[in-house]
Amino acid sequence: MAVDTSPRTTTWTYVDGEWLTGNPPLIGPTSHAMWLGSTVFDGARWFDGIAPDLDLHCQRINRSALAMGLKPLKTAEEIEALAWEGVKRFDGNTPIYIKPMYWGEHGSAGSIVAVDAESTRFALCLFEAPLGGHGGVTLTVSPFRRPSPETAMTDAKAGSLYPNSGRMIVEAKKRGFDNALVRDMIGNVVETASSNVFMVKDGIIYTPVANRTFLAGITRARVMGLLRREGFDVREETLSVEQFMAADEIFTTGNYSKVVSVNRLDDREFQQGPVARKALELYMDWAYGRSASEE
Protein backbone atom coordinates (compact mmCIF):
# COMPACT_ATOMS: atom_id res chain seq x y z
CA MET A 1 0.00 0.00 0.00
CA ALA A 2 1.37 3.43 -0.92
CA VAL A 3 2.21 5.79 1.91
CA ASP A 4 -0.08 8.80 2.22
CA THR A 5 2.24 11.78 1.59
CA SER A 6 -0.32 14.48 2.32
CA PRO A 7 0.62 16.81 5.23
CA ARG A 8 -1.02 16.29 8.61
CA THR A 9 -2.04 19.93 8.98
CA THR A 10 -2.88 22.78 6.63
CA THR A 11 0.27 23.56 4.64
CA TRP A 12 1.38 26.06 2.01
CA THR A 13 4.73 26.06 0.21
CA TYR A 14 6.30 28.75 -1.95
CA VAL A 15 8.59 27.37 -4.64
CA ASP A 16 9.66 28.57 -8.09
CA GLY A 17 7.53 31.70 -7.86
CA GLU A 18 4.19 30.20 -6.80
CA TRP A 19 2.32 29.07 -3.70
CA LEU A 20 1.27 25.42 -3.63
CA THR A 21 -0.96 23.68 -1.11
CA GLY A 22 -0.32 20.24 0.38
CA ASN A 23 3.03 18.46 0.03
CA PRO A 24 4.33 19.18 -3.49
CA PRO A 25 6.81 16.64 -4.94
CA LEU A 26 10.03 18.66 -5.11
CA ILE A 27 12.88 16.16 -4.66
CA GLY A 28 13.40 13.15 -6.91
CA PRO A 29 15.52 10.00 -6.62
CA THR A 30 18.44 11.58 -8.47
CA SER A 31 18.37 14.80 -6.44
CA HIS A 32 21.57 15.38 -4.48
CA ALA A 33 19.48 16.32 -1.44
CA MET A 34 17.62 13.00 -1.36
CA TRP A 35 20.66 10.91 -2.17
CA LEU A 36 23.43 12.70 -0.29
CA GLY A 37 21.72 14.95 2.22
CA SER A 38 22.49 18.51 1.08
CA THR A 39 19.58 20.15 2.91
CA VAL A 40 19.41 23.05 5.35
CA PHE A 41 16.37 24.64 6.94
CA ASP A 42 15.29 27.05 9.63
CA GLY A 43 12.18 27.43 11.71
CA ALA A 44 10.34 30.50 12.94
CA ARG A 45 6.94 30.78 14.59
CA TRP A 46 3.80 32.81 13.96
CA PHE A 47 1.07 33.03 16.59
CA ASP A 48 -1.51 35.66 17.59
CA GLY A 49 -0.40 37.97 14.81
CA ILE A 50 3.30 38.01 15.74
CA ALA A 51 6.42 36.19 14.50
CA PRO A 52 9.17 36.71 17.11
CA ASP A 53 12.69 37.06 15.67
CA LEU A 54 11.50 36.10 12.18
CA ASP A 55 14.18 38.35 10.71
CA LEU A 56 16.94 36.49 12.58
CA HIS A 57 15.68 33.10 11.40
CA CYS A 58 15.65 34.36 7.81
CA GLN A 59 19.22 35.55 8.20
CA ARG A 60 20.36 32.24 9.68
CA ILE A 61 19.00 30.10 6.85
CA ASN A 62 21.32 31.91 4.44
CA ARG A 63 24.31 31.34 6.74
CA SER A 64 23.40 27.65 6.89
CA ALA A 65 23.22 27.49 3.11
CA LEU A 66 26.71 28.90 2.78
CA ALA A 67 28.06 26.50 5.41
CA MET A 68 26.57 23.59 3.43
CA GLY A 69 28.16 24.80 0.21
CA LEU A 70 24.87 26.00 -1.25
CA LYS A 71 24.06 29.35 -2.84
CA PRO A 72 21.48 31.57 -1.10
CA LEU A 73 18.86 32.49 -3.70
CA LYS A 74 16.86 34.99 -1.62
CA THR A 75 17.89 37.77 0.72
CA ALA A 76 16.77 37.49 4.32
CA GLU A 77 14.40 40.39 3.71
CA GLU A 78 12.84 38.64 0.73
CA ILE A 79 12.31 35.46 2.75
CA GLU A 80 10.72 37.45 5.57
CA ALA A 81 8.34 39.19 3.18
CA LEU A 82 7.34 35.85 1.64
CA ALA A 83 6.69 34.44 5.11
CA TRP A 84 4.23 37.23 5.92
CA GLU A 85 2.61 36.67 2.52
CA GLY A 86 2.23 32.99 3.34
CA VAL A 87 0.75 33.64 6.78
CA LYS A 88 -2.19 35.39 5.11
CA ARG A 89 -3.17 32.08 3.48
CA PHE A 90 -4.15 30.61 6.87
CA ASP A 91 -7.24 31.27 8.98
CA GLY A 92 -5.24 32.91 11.77
CA ASN A 93 -6.58 30.63 14.50
CA THR A 94 -3.68 28.17 14.86
CA PRO A 95 0.07 28.83 15.38
CA ILE A 96 2.20 28.32 12.28
CA TYR A 97 5.68 26.92 11.77
CA ILE A 98 7.64 28.91 9.17
CA LYS A 99 10.31 26.78 7.48
CA PRO A 100 12.63 28.21 4.79
CA MET A 101 14.75 25.55 3.07
CA TYR A 102 17.61 25.23 0.61
CA TRP A 103 18.83 22.03 -1.01
CA GLY A 104 21.11 20.87 -3.81
CA GLU A 105 19.81 19.21 -6.95
CA HIS A 106 23.11 18.02 -8.46
CA GLY A 107 26.61 17.01 -7.45
CA SER A 108 29.59 19.06 -8.53
CA ALA A 109 31.64 18.27 -11.60
CA GLY A 110 34.20 15.56 -10.87
CA SER A 111 32.65 14.51 -7.54
CA ILE A 112 28.99 13.63 -7.15
CA VAL A 113 29.44 13.65 -3.36
CA ALA A 114 30.09 17.41 -3.21
CA VAL A 115 27.04 19.52 -3.99
CA ASP A 116 26.99 21.88 -6.97
CA ALA A 117 26.17 25.30 -5.50
CA GLU A 118 24.71 26.43 -8.81
CA SER A 119 22.03 23.73 -8.50
CA THR A 120 20.65 25.16 -5.25
CA ARG A 121 16.87 25.30 -4.90
CA PHE A 122 14.73 27.23 -2.40
CA ALA A 123 11.35 26.65 -0.83
CA LEU A 124 9.42 28.25 2.01
CA CYS A 125 6.97 25.94 3.77
CA LEU A 126 4.39 27.07 6.34
CA PHE A 127 2.17 24.67 8.25
CA GLU A 128 -0.12 24.75 11.26
CA ALA A 129 1.56 23.53 14.46
CA PRO A 130 0.24 24.36 17.94
CA LEU A 131 2.69 25.53 20.59
CA GLY A 132 3.27 22.78 23.13
CA GLY A 133 5.37 21.45 25.96
CA HIS A 134 4.30 23.85 28.67
CA GLY A 135 3.19 21.08 31.02
CA GLY A 136 6.86 20.22 31.45
CA VAL A 137 9.03 17.44 30.04
CA THR A 138 11.13 14.57 31.35
CA LEU A 139 14.75 13.97 30.33
CA THR A 140 17.23 11.13 30.50
CA VAL A 141 20.93 11.25 29.77
CA SER A 142 21.43 9.96 26.24
CA PRO A 143 24.06 7.33 25.43
CA PHE A 144 24.52 9.10 22.08
CA ARG A 145 26.70 12.18 21.58
CA ARG A 146 26.78 15.37 19.55
CA PRO A 147 29.51 15.43 16.87
CA SER A 148 32.24 18.04 16.68
CA PRO A 149 32.73 20.51 13.79
CA GLU A 150 35.52 18.27 12.49
CA THR A 151 33.11 15.36 12.03
CA ALA A 152 29.78 16.87 10.97
CA MET A 153 28.15 19.98 9.49
CA THR A 154 27.52 21.52 12.92
CA ASP A 155 27.80 25.14 11.74
CA ALA A 156 24.60 24.77 9.71
CA LYS A 157 21.04 23.90 10.66
CA ALA A 158 21.45 20.89 8.43
CA GLY A 159 18.91 18.15 7.90
CA SER A 160 21.71 15.59 8.08
CA LEU A 161 22.20 16.31 11.79
CA TYR A 162 18.67 15.37 12.76
CA PRO A 163 18.70 11.56 12.40
CA ASN A 164 21.12 11.59 15.34
CA SER A 165 18.62 13.67 17.33
CA GLY A 166 15.84 11.35 16.26
CA ARG A 167 17.56 8.24 17.58
CA MET A 168 18.23 10.04 20.86
CA ILE A 169 14.52 10.73 21.27
CA VAL A 170 13.48 7.22 20.23
CA GLU A 171 15.91 5.68 22.73
CA ALA A 172 14.72 8.02 25.49
CA LYS A 173 11.06 7.26 24.80
CA LYS A 174 11.76 3.54 24.99
CA ARG A 175 12.86 4.16 28.57
CA GLY A 176 9.79 6.25 29.41
CA PHE A 177 11.15 9.79 28.94
CA ASP A 178 10.09 12.62 26.63
CA ASN A 179 13.52 13.74 25.50
CA ALA A 180 17.24 13.34 26.19
CA LEU A 181 19.99 15.37 27.80
CA VAL A 182 22.89 15.24 25.35
CA ARG A 183 26.66 15.48 25.75
CA ASP A 184 29.44 16.32 23.34
CA MET A 185 32.21 13.91 22.40
CA ILE A 186 34.19 14.63 25.58
CA GLY A 187 31.24 14.29 27.95
CA ASN A 188 30.09 17.87 28.56
CA VAL A 189 26.35 18.61 28.49
CA VAL A 190 25.44 20.69 25.44
CA GLU A 191 21.65 20.58 24.92
CA THR A 192 18.68 18.23 24.68
CA ALA A 193 17.96 16.23 21.54
CA SER A 194 15.74 19.05 20.24
CA SER A 195 16.32 22.23 22.26
CA ASN A 196 18.80 24.27 24.25
CA VAL A 197 18.99 23.71 27.98
CA PHE A 198 19.48 25.81 31.11
CA MET A 199 19.97 24.97 34.78
CA VAL A 200 19.62 27.08 37.91
CA LYS A 201 21.73 26.68 41.03
CA ASP A 202 21.66 29.02 44.03
CA GLY A 203 19.99 31.74 41.98
CA ILE A 204 22.53 31.65 39.14
CA ILE A 205 21.41 30.58 35.66
CA TYR A 206 23.80 28.41 33.66
CA THR A 207 23.70 27.21 30.07
CA PRO A 208 26.30 25.20 28.15
CA VAL A 209 28.87 27.37 26.42
CA ALA A 210 28.45 27.48 22.65
CA ASN A 211 31.28 25.19 21.51
CA ARG A 212 30.05 24.60 17.92
CA THR A 213 28.84 21.06 18.67
CA PHE A 214 25.23 22.25 18.95
CA LEU A 215 22.99 24.98 17.57
CA ALA A 216 23.13 27.93 19.99
CA GLY A 217 19.60 29.00 19.19
CA ILE A 218 17.95 32.33 18.50
CA THR A 219 15.39 31.78 21.27
CA ARG A 220 18.24 30.81 23.63
CA ALA A 221 20.00 34.11 22.95
CA ARG A 222 16.75 36.07 23.29
CA VAL A 223 15.92 34.49 26.66
CA MET A 224 19.46 35.03 27.95
CA GLY A 225 19.27 38.71 27.04
CA LEU A 226 15.86 39.20 28.62
CA LEU A 227 16.90 37.49 31.86
CA ARG A 228 20.09 39.54 32.09
CA ARG A 229 18.15 42.75 31.49
CA GLU A 230 15.87 41.71 34.35
CA GLY A 231 18.92 41.46 36.63
CA PHE A 232 19.59 37.70 36.60
CA ASP A 233 23.14 36.35 36.58
CA VAL A 234 23.28 34.23 33.41
CA ARG A 235 26.50 32.35 32.67
CA GLU A 236 27.69 30.26 29.72
CA GLU A 237 29.97 27.56 31.09
CA THR A 238 31.21 24.03 30.51
CA LEU A 239 28.72 21.90 32.44
CA SER A 240 28.56 18.26 33.54
CA VAL A 241 25.71 15.81 34.00
CA GLU A 242 26.46 15.89 37.73
CA GLN A 243 25.83 19.64 37.83
CA PHE A 244 22.47 19.19 36.13
CA MET A 245 21.52 16.43 38.56
CA ALA A 246 22.30 18.80 41.45
CA ALA A 247 20.43 21.78 39.94
CA ASP A 248 17.55 23.58 41.64
CA GLU A 249 15.63 23.69 38.37
CA ILE A 250 16.12 22.94 34.69
CA PHE A 251 14.36 24.38 31.67
CA THR A 252 14.73 24.34 27.90
CA THR A 253 14.39 26.93 25.16
CA GLY A 254 13.64 26.50 21.50
CA ASN A 255 11.69 28.01 18.68
CA TYR A 256 9.08 25.26 18.62
CA SER A 257 7.82 25.61 22.23
CA LYS A 258 9.77 28.63 23.53
CA VAL A 259 10.43 27.96 27.27
CA VAL A 260 9.62 24.59 28.87
CA SER A 261 10.31 23.35 32.40
CA VAL A 262 11.95 19.98 33.04
CA ASN A 263 10.02 17.88 35.57
CA ARG A 264 12.48 15.00 35.81
CA LEU A 265 16.03 14.10 34.87
CA ASP A 266 16.49 10.34 35.16
CA ASP A 267 15.56 9.58 38.80
CA ARG A 268 15.69 13.20 39.99
CA GLU A 269 12.34 14.99 40.23
CA PHE A 270 11.97 18.76 39.72
CA GLN A 271 9.15 21.19 40.31
CA GLN A 272 8.47 23.91 37.77
CA GLY A 273 10.74 26.61 39.09
CA PRO A 274 10.36 30.38 39.40
CA VAL A 275 13.16 31.12 36.93
CA ALA A 276 11.57 29.07 34.15
CA ARG A 277 8.23 30.76 34.78
CA LYS A 278 9.91 34.16 34.71
CA ALA A 279 11.81 33.33 31.53
CA LEU A 280 8.59 32.38 29.74
CA GLU A 281 6.83 35.47 31.08
CA LEU A 282 9.65 37.75 29.93
CA TYR A 283 9.77 36.14 26.50
CA MET A 284 6.03 36.43 25.91
CA ASP A 285 5.92 39.99 27.25
CA TRP A 286 8.70 40.89 24.81
CA ALA A 287 7.10 39.00 21.90
CA TYR A 288 3.70 40.61 22.34
CA GLY A 289 5.02 44.01 23.37
CA ARG A 290 7.42 44.96 20.62
CA SER A 291 9.08 43.69 17.46
CA ALA A 292 12.59 42.30 17.16
CA SER A 293 13.63 45.43 15.23
CA GLU A 294 13.22 47.46 18.42
CA GLU A 295 15.87 45.43 20.23
Specify if 77 maps to a domain: yes
Instruction: With beta carbons less than 8 A apart as the criterion, state whether 184 and 216 touch.
Output: no
The answer on 150 and 117 residing in a single domain is no
Coil/strand/helix, residue 140: strand
The answer on 147 and 123 residing in a single domain is no
Specify if 218 maps to a domain: yes
Query: What is the torsion angle, in degrees rounded to the nearest 10, for the CA atoms of residue 78, residue 79, residue 80 and residue 86?
Result: 110
The answer on 143 and 267 residing in a single domain is yes
The CA distance from 110 to 193, in Å, is 36
The CA distance from 22 to 28, in Å, is 17
- Kind of pairing, strands 196-201 and 249-254? antiparallel
The answer on 141 and 124 residing in a single domain is no
The answer on 142 and 124 residing in a single domain is no
Specify if 295 maps to a domain: no
Does the structure show a pLDDT above 90 at 295?
no
Alpha carbon distance, N-terminus to C-terminus of the chain: 52
Specify if 293 maps to a domain: no
The pTM (predicted TM-score) of the whole model is: 0.94
- The CATH code of the domain that includes 195 is 3.20.10.10
Confidence at residue 229, expressed as pLDDT on a 0 to 100 scale = 97
Arithmetic mean of pLDDT, 105-113: 94
Confidence at residue 292, expressed as pLDDT on a 0 to 100 scale = 41
- The CATH code of the domain that includes 42 is 3.30.470.10
Does the structure show a pLDDT above 80 at 290?
no
The answer on 214 and 163 residing in a single domain is yes
**Domain final residue pick, 128, 162, 185:** 128
The answer on 277 and 154 residing in a single domain is yes
**Domain final residue pick, 75, 93, 128:** 128
Residues of the chain with pLDDT > 90, as a percent, come to: 93
The answer on 231 and 174 residing in a single domain is yes
Instruction: With beta carbons less than 8 A apart as the criterion, state whether 139 and 146 touch.
Output: no
The answer on 85 and 60 residing in a single domain is yes
The CA distance from 35 to 71, in Å, is 19
Specify if 5 maps to a domain: no
Distances (CA, A) of 213 to 66, 146, 182, 184: 18, 6, 11, 7
**Domain final residue pick, 103, 128, 153:** 128
Arithmetic mean of pLDDT, 90-113: 96
Q: Residue 167: pLDDT band by 50, 70, 90 thresholds? A: very high
The answer on 111 and 151 residing in a single domain is no
Confidence at residue 294, expressed as pLDDT on a 0 to 100 scale = 43
Specify if 90 maps to a domain: yes
Helices (H) and strands (E) in the chain, counts: 7, 17
Residue partners of 281: CB distance under 8 A and separation at least 6: none
Does the structure show a pLDDT above 50 at 293?
no
Residues of the chain with pLDDT > 70, as a percent, come to: 97
Specify if 148 maps to a domain: yes
Arithmetic mean of pLDDT, 89-118: 96
Structural domain boundaries enclosing 97: 11-128
- Indicate the range of 67-76, 86-95, 132-141, 255-264 predicted with least confidence: 132-141
The answer on 192 and 167 residing in a single domain is yes
Specify if 4 maps to a domain: no
The total number of structural domains in the chain stands at 2
The answer on 118 and 174 residing in a single domain is no
